[in-house]
Structure 1
Amino acid sequence: MSPPPPQTATGTRRTVAQPTPTAGGGKHLPATLLGKLAIADTRPAVMLGETVLLPVIAIALGLLVNPQDALWANAAFPWAWLAPVILALRYGPLSGLGGAFVLLAGWLAVNLGHWHQFPQVYFLGGLILVMLVGEFSSLWRARTRRAEITQGYLDQRLEHLVRQHYLLRLSHDRLEQELIGRPMSMRDALASLQSTSGSAQGPATLLRLLAQYCQLESVALYPATDEGIDETPLAQTGRMPALRASDPLVMQALETRKLCHISQALANQQNSQYLVAAPLLDLGGDIYGMLVVDEMPFFSLQDENLQTINLLLGYYTDGLATQALAAPIIEALPQCPPGFAFEAQRLAHVYRSTQVGSVIVALEFLPRSIERSLPEQILRLKRELDETWLCEGGERQVLALLMPLGSRATAEGYIARIEQWSQQSTGQSLAEAGVFPHVIVLDDGKPLDALQRIVRIAEHHA
Structure 2
Amino acid sequence: MSRIARLRARITRRLQPQRTSPWLGLVRALRIWRPNAQADRLIAALESAALPALALYLSWRINPQDPLGLHAGFPWIWFGPWLAAVRYGAGYGLFGVALYGGMWAQFFSPDLATFPGEFFLGGALVSLILGEFGSAYKVQSVRHREIQRDLTARLERTKRRLFVVKESLATLEQELTDRPMTLRDALLDLRRRLVQARSTPASGSRAVAALPDPGALLQLLSQACRLIEAGIFVRRSGDAHWTPVARLGKNLPKLDTMHPLIEHVLETHEIAHIAQAGLADPNYNQWVFAAPLRLDLFEEVDALLAVHTMPFMAFDDINLRRLQVLAASYADFTQLELLVEDVRAVWPASPIGMQQEWAHLAALHKASGLRSYCALWMGQARLSESVLDEFSGLQPPESSWWRLQTAKGHLVLAVLLPIISGASLTSYRRQMIDALEQILARFDQPSQTLGVDFYPVRHAADYAALHQRMQLL
Q: 1:79 to 1:329 in 2, by over 3 A?
A: closer
210-219 vs 95-104, greater mean Cα deviation: 210-219
1:223 maps to 2:234: yes
Give the root-mean-square deviation of aligned CA atoms. 3.1
Point out which structure has higher relative CO (alpha carbons under 8 A, 6+ apart). Answer: 1
Cα 1:153–1:231, aligned 2, differ >3 Å: closer, same or farther? closer
Instruction: Report how far residue 136 of structure 1 moved.
Output: 1.0
Amino acid corresponding to residue 142 of structure 2 in structure 1 = R
Amino acid of the residue matched to residue 273 of structure 2?
H
SS in 1 for 2:413: strand
Which range moved further: 316-325 or 130-139? 316-325
Q: 2 CA distance for matches of 1:298 and 1:268?
A: 16
Give the corresponding residue for 1:262.
274
Residue of structure 2 aligned with 1:389, choices 397, 402, 405: 402
Which residue is equivalent to 1:214?
225
1:205 CA drift (Å): 2.2
For residue 251 of structure 2, the aligned residue among 240, 248, 253 is 240
Equivalent positions of 1:60-71 (< 5 A) are 60-71=57-68
Mapped to 1, the partners of 2:463 and 2:309 lie a distance apart of 47
- Corresponding residue of 2:207: none
1:46 aligned partner: 43
Cα offset, 1:225, TM superposition: 6.1
Report the secondary structure of 1:258's partner residue.
coil
In structure 2, C-alpha distance between the alignment counterparts of 1:244 and 1:301, rounded to whole Å: 22
One-letter amino acid matched to 1:261:
H
Match of residue 351 from structure 1: 365
Report deviation, 1:93: 0.6
Are residues 1:404 and 2:418 paired?
yes
Contact 2:291 2:304 in 1 (8 A): yes
Matches within 5 A, 1:54-93: 54-93=51-90
Separation of aligned partners in 2, 1:177 and 1:203: 32
SS at match of 2:401: strand
Q: Deviations over 1:8-42 (max 9, x none)?
A: xxxxxxxxxxxxxxxxxxxxxxx954444547474
CA distance in 1, matches of 2:181, 2:314: 19
Q: Is the Cα contact below 8 Å between 2:440 and 2:446 reproduced in 1?
A: no
Tell me if structure 1 keeps the 8 A contact 2:456–2:462: no
Distance change (3 Å), C-alpha of 1:195 and 1:229: farther
Q: Which residue of 2 aligns with 1:297?
A: 311
Aligned length: 427
Residues 39 and 273 from structure 1, CA distance in 2 versus in 1: closer, same or farther, beyond 3 angstroms? farther
- Cα gap change, 1:229 to 1:301, in 2 (>3 Å): farther
Could you state the TM-score of these two structures normalised by the residue count of structure 1?
0.82
Structure 2, unaligned runs of 5 or more: 1-26, 203-211
Q: Quick one: distance in 2 between partners of 1:238 and 1:265?
A: 28
Q: State the match for 1:26 in structure 2.
A: none
The 10-residue stretch of structure 1 (169-178 or 185-194) with the greater mean CA deviation from structure 2: 169-178
- Counterpart among 336, 352, 377 of residue 338 in structure 1: 352
Q: Which amino acid aligns with 1:249?
A: L
Q: Is the 8 A contact 2:183 2:322 kept in 1?
A: no
Is the 2:387–2:440 Cα contact (8 Å) retained in structure 1?
no
Closer/same/farther in 2, CA of residues 455 and 176 from structure 1, 3 Å limit: farther
Q: Which residue of 2 aligns with 1:136?
A: 133
Paired position in structure 2 for 1:4: none
The answer for unaligned runs of 5 or more in structure 1 is 1-30
User: Among 267, 288, 291, which residue is 1:278 paired with?
Assistant: 291
Amino acid of the structure 1 residue aligned with 2:263: M
Deviation track 1:183-232 (CA, whole Å, cap 9, x = no partner) reads: 43323312222232246782222222222332322222222467576554
CA contact (8 A) 2:294 2:304 kept: no
Identify which range, 317-326 or 103-112, moves more after superposition: 317-326
SS in 2 for 1:419: helix
Q: Secondary structure at the match of 2:127?
A: helix
Q: Does 1:310 align with 2:320?
A: no
CA distance in 2, matches of 1:406, 1:141: 21
Cα deviation for residue 100 of structure 1 reads 0.6
2:340 counterpart residue number: 326
Aligned AA (2:213): G
Cα separation, 2, equivalents of 1:311 and 1:191: 12
User: Does the 8 A contact of 2:382 with 2:411 survive in 1?
Assistant: no
Q: Deviations over 1:129-184 (max 9, x none)?
A: 11111111111111211221222222222222222332343344327443333343
Residue range with higher mean Cα deviation, 251-260 or 395-404? 251-260
1:362-373 equivalent positions in 2, closer than 5 A: 362-367=376-381, 369-370=383-384, 373=386
Task: Return the TM-score normalized by structure 2.
Answer: 0.80
Q: CA deviation at 1:430?
A: 10
User: Does 2:462 align with 1:447?
Assistant: yes
Q: Which moved more, 1:82-91 or 1:137-146?
A: 137-146
Change (3 A) 1:33 1:340: same
1:401-459, CA deviations, whole angstroms, 9 ceiling, x for partnerless residues? 11001133333322322233345455489992453222223357733234224414xx3
Which residue is 1:110 aligned to?
107
Contact 2:180 2:224 in 1 (8 A): no
> Is residue 259–residue 278 contact of structure 1 (8 Å, CA) maintained in 2?
yes
Q: Distance in 1 between matches of 2:75 and 2:324?
A: 60
In structure 2, relative to structure 1, the CA distance for the partners of 1:361 and 1:232 (3 Å cut) is: closer
Q: Hey, what's the Cα distance between the residues in 2 that align with 1:380 and 1:71?
A: 69
Change in CA separation of 1:368 and 1:98 when aligned onto 2, cut-off 3 Å: closer
Query: Which amino acid in the other structure matches residue 143 of structure 1?
Result: Q
Greater displacement, 337-346 / 409-418: 409-418
Offset of 1:239 from its aligned partner? 4.1
Rounded Cα–Cα distance in structure 2 between residues aligned with 1:205 and 1:453: 35
Q: Which moved more, 1:225-234 or 1:356-365?
A: 225-234
Do 2:403 and 2:414's aligned partners in 1 also have CA atoms closer than 8 Å? Answer: yes
Change in Cα spacing, 1:114 to 1:45, as seen in structure 2 (3 Å) is: farther
Q: Percent identity?
A: 27
Taking structure 1 as reference, are residues 379 and 425 closer, same or farther at Cα in structure 2, changes over 3 Å only? Answer: closer
Q: Contact 1:156 / 1:283 at 8 angstroms: preserved in 2?
A: no
| CA pair 96-55 structure 1, distance change in 2 beyond 3 A | same
Note closer, same or farther for the CA distance 1:268–1:61 as it changes in structure 2 (3 Å cut): farther
Structure 1 residues 430 and 136, CA gap change in structure 2 (3 angstroms): farther
- 1:431 to 1:329, Cα distance in 2 relative to 1, 3 A: farther
Moved more, 83-92 or 32-41: 32-41
Q: What pairs with 1:173-188 in structure 2 (closer than 5 Å)?
A: 173-174=170-171, 176-188=173-185
